Chain A
Amino acid sequence: MGDETTKPTKAPYLLIAPSWAALGILFLLPLLVMFIISFGMRGTYGGLKPIDDLWAYILSGDFLANYKRSLEPLYWPIYWRSFWMATVTTVLCLLISYPIAYYIAIVAPARWKNLLLALVVIPFWTSFLIRTYAWMLILRTEGLINTVLMEGGLIDKPLDLLYNEFAVMIGLVYGELPFMILPLYASLEKLDLTLLEASSDLGAKHVSTFWRVTLPLTMPGVVAGVVLVFIPSIGQFVVSDLLGGAKSMLVGNLIQNQFAVARHRPFGSAIAFELTAVVLLLLFAYAWWAKKRGQEAML
């Protein structure tokens, strides 16, 4: 009897062990290494400076130097810009995605739904980097938009579309759009349309029905989409690098520069950790919200 009851309880752990091992080696271990590095000092030629007296180093408080530095006013505009860009990206994504998701889930004939969803997902087949380069071709001075406008005689000289925050925003919104559309679609798809009829029956016009019934009931999708878009937007560096030029540095670029250009791994690790903390805070807030609503989180 004893064997029969104890053996099966071990099986689940054994089965899940490979997953834990993969997660541990590929994610947790590097994070731990980064965490330790973030308290270190940069060596003269990059790399890490060896610490002679660990105890003295800790007591002097020097190990927090990288975190102190990261809070210097010099970097505030970068954090602020990152936060602001991520927020605007998220809001724009939400405003653009909701009608699209609504159309696919509710308005479109059933036989079109899968095709439309496929259209949302198909861009993933191409590398994000290549798609961002494509935007450069569209936005640059001799690019598609300027050429068409010039040929059409609508403008005399090319517009400055590339290498500014506007271009970064386009790239970000474009890239993150599917991550907003899909969760919104998932929750709109589940919406009981009779509720919309009931609302109309009780005197609510379309706008009223939207605010009082549709939106509250699809809130899980909205919040999931916001989380899914905001988090990658605040940490990204590729789009701002390619489309923003040097002018619009974001926190992602700052981190990347510490590793790739300034060769200051401890400082880069410290900022990366701060960013991770902010993201985790957001995720906890989301989990708390979902639990409070008694709903299963969509993430």
Chain B
Amino acid sequence: MSVSVDIAGVTKRFGDFVAVDRVSLQIRKGEFFSLLGPSGCGKTTLLRMIGGFEFPTEGVIRIGDRDVTWLPPYKRPVNMVFQSSALFPHLTVIENVAFGLRYKGLNNGAAKQKARDALALVRLEGFEDRPPAQLSGGQRQRVALARALAMEPEVLLLDEPLAALDQKLRKEVQLELKNLQKSLGLTFVFVTHDQEEALTMSDRIAVMNQGRVEQLDASHHVFEYPKTEFVAQFMGAPNFFTGVVKSLAEGLLYIGGRTEADIRARTTSDTWRPNDPVRFVVRPEKLDLRTKSGTSDGEVSIEVTIEDRVYQGVNTVWVVRGDDGERYMIYEQNDRPFQESSRFRVGGRAFMSWNPRDTVVLEKKS
């Protein structure tokens, strides 16, 4: 896999504020890459540095084989789809899409033709002569996308382009965008704060927090095997357990301190030592609620107090608290309820159990 964008030790400071903190990552050619994180995590700043709208305080950015760290946007082989769409209000749709083509040496006729092709790609034929003010939000973003694609960039940068669309339209455009990316084989770098959006579209996701990359993995990996508490929380798995390492053998970590029997959990790290404190998570949909301590199949059980239940349509969320004071979320699918679901009530006691292979051990804190 050849590298499309190489970010090497990039830091960006605004005065005292560190927006991006020593980030190094490589974006592969032809992949859909997402920068995911809450607002203020530095994802947009990083994207803007790739686009040339900000310059790093430290570090190097390469696109292809070229060092572009200090190049202005108009000299970079990348194009951006802005969150606000940034269409020129005084130009028609076709003039917007053809805007940059003259700098590629195309004459007016060829530019118009190319712009028309790009508009066809985003299914906006027949809108050529409209001013942007007469388009809906979704149409505006399509024009912005066509405008960027017409430039035939090596890398397409997308800064939360769907944030302003309503939920239903957003889902549609997500799939369209993903299909378009696949069929064009183009490198997409997508910034979003919506984990579901990132999971839907991305090949790989870099989860960012406070200017740093917390985890970079294939998207299903980020979802299933979060490495840090932040990523687990962001990916909707806010169930944290603390234990103590008993032993490590053949990729299996034996964790004690929480249950009578040790919990056996897989780990890829071999740096664990006995008596190390260890944190792990279990996704809410992997947890089960029972009246008795389930010991069959080596299942793990912890006694908890039920604090709340919230009906959410597809799921019912049980909020429970362990005797150590930690709070946990359990999702019960409403079409496949827990066997003893009717016997639980808020304020009562119950056993929370899960299959040990669903235990996800977080990275060892250095």
The residue from A192, A194, A200, A202 contacting B151, defined by CB atoms under 8 A apart:
A202
B84 nearest CB across to chain A (Å): 6
For chain B, the bracket of interface size reads 20 to 34
Complex Cα gap A199–B89 (Å): 12
A223 nearest CB across to chain B (Å): 14
Is there a chain B Cβ closer than 8 Å to A216's Cβ?
Answer: yes
Complex Cα gap A203–B103 (Å): 6
CB under 8 Å from chain A, chain B span 227-267 = none
**Residues in A neighbouring B87, C-beta threshold 8 A:** 198
**Residues in A neighbouring B37, C-beta threshold 8 A:** none
CB under 8 Å from chain B, chain A span 166-225 = 192, 194-195, 197-205, 208, 212-213, 216-217
Q: Which residue of B lies closest to A196 (CB)?
A: B86
**Residues in A neighbouring B90, C-beta threshold 8 A:** 216-217
Is there a chain A Cβ closer than 8 Å to B56's Cβ?
Answer: no
Is there a chain A Cβ closer than 8 Å to B311's Cβ?
Answer: no
Is there a chain A Cβ closer than 8 Å to B30's Cβ?
Answer: no
**Residues in B neighbouring A197, C-beta threshold 8 A:** 53, 73, 80, 82, 86
Tell me the number of A-to-B contacts counted with CB atoms below 8 Å: 59
Most B Cβ at <10 Å: residue of A195, A200, A216, A217? A200
CB atoms of B51 and A201 under 8 A apart:
yes
CB atoms of B103 and A198 under 8 A apart:
no
Q: Which residue of B lies closest to A193 (CB)?
A: B86
Q: Which residue of B lies closest to A205 (CB)?
A: B74
**Residues in A neighbouring B74, C-beta threshold 8 A:** 200-205
Complex Cα gap A186–B266 (Å): 63
**Residues in A neighbouring B148, C-beta threshold 8 A:** 201
CB atoms of A199 and B72 under 8 A apart:
no
CB atoms of B88 and A203 under 8 A apart:
no
**Residues in A neighbouring B84, C-beta threshold 8 A:** 192, 194
Complex Cα gap A202–B52 (Å): 12
CB atoms of A202 and B82 under 8 A apart:
no
Q: Which residue of A lies closest to B90 (CB)?
A: A216
B279 nearest CB across to chain A (Å): 42
Q: Which residue of A lies closest to B144 (CB)?
A: A198
Complex Cα gap A212–B74 (Å): 15
CB atoms of A202 and B147 under 8 A apart:
yes
The residue from A198, A204, A212 contacting B86, defined by CB atoms under 8 A apart:
A198
The residue from A200, A201, A208, A213 contacting B88, defined by CB atoms under 8 A apart:
A213
Complex Cα gap A35–B103 (Å): 58
Complex Cα gap A216–B100 (Å): 17
**Residues in A neighbouring B44, C-beta threshold 8 A:** none
CB atoms of B151 and A198 under 8 A apart:
no
CB atoms of A198 and B82 under 8 A apart:
yes
**Residues in B neighbouring A204, C-beta threshold 8 A:** 74, 99-100, 103
Is there a chain A Cβ closer than 8 Å to B79's Cβ?
Answer: yes
CB atoms of B73 and A192 under 8 A apart:
no
**Residues in B neighbouring A198, C-beta threshold 8 A:** 80, 82, 86-88
Complex Cα gap A187–B123 (Å): 35
CB atoms of A200 and B86 under 8 A apart:
no
**Residues in B neighbouring A201, C-beta threshold 8 A:** 51-53, 73-74, 78-80, 100, 148
Complex Cα gap A13–B72 (Å): 59
Complex Cα gap A220–B90 (Å): 12
Contact with B along A209-253 (1 / 0, CB 8 A): 000110011000000000000000000000000000000000000
Q: Which residue of A lies closest to B133 (CB)?
A: A294
B99 nearest CB across to chain A (Å): 5
CB atoms of A192 and B103 under 8 A apart:
no
Contact with A along B61-74 (1 / 0, CB 8 A): 00000000000111
Complex Cα gap A201–B51 (Å): 7
Complex Cα gap A203–B72 (Å): 9
**Residues in B neighbouring A200, C-beta threshold 8 A:** 52-53, 72-74
Complex Cα gap A197–B148 (Å): 13
CB atoms of B86 and A192 under 8 A apart:
yes
Closest 8 CB pairs of A and B: A202-B100, A203-B103, A198-B86, A200-B73, A203-B100, A194-B86, A201-B73, A203-B74
User: Can you show 28 pairs from A to B with CB atoms below 8 A apart?
Assistant: A194-B82, A194-B84, A195-B86, A195-B88, A197-B80, A197-B86, A198-B82, A198-B86, A198-B88, A200-B53, A200-B72, A200-B73, A200-B74, A201-B53, A201-B78, A201-B100, A202-B79, A202-B100, A202-B103, A202-B151, A203-B103, A204-B74, A204-B100, A204-B103, A205-B72, A212-B99, A217-B88, A217-B89
Q: Supply 15 further A-B pairs (C-beta < 8 A) apart from A195-B86, A200-B53, A202-B79.
A: A194-B86, A195-B88, A197-B80, A197-B82, A197-B86, A200-B52, A202-B100, A202-B151, A203-B103, A204-B74, A204-B99, A205-B74, A208-B103, A212-B99, A217-B90
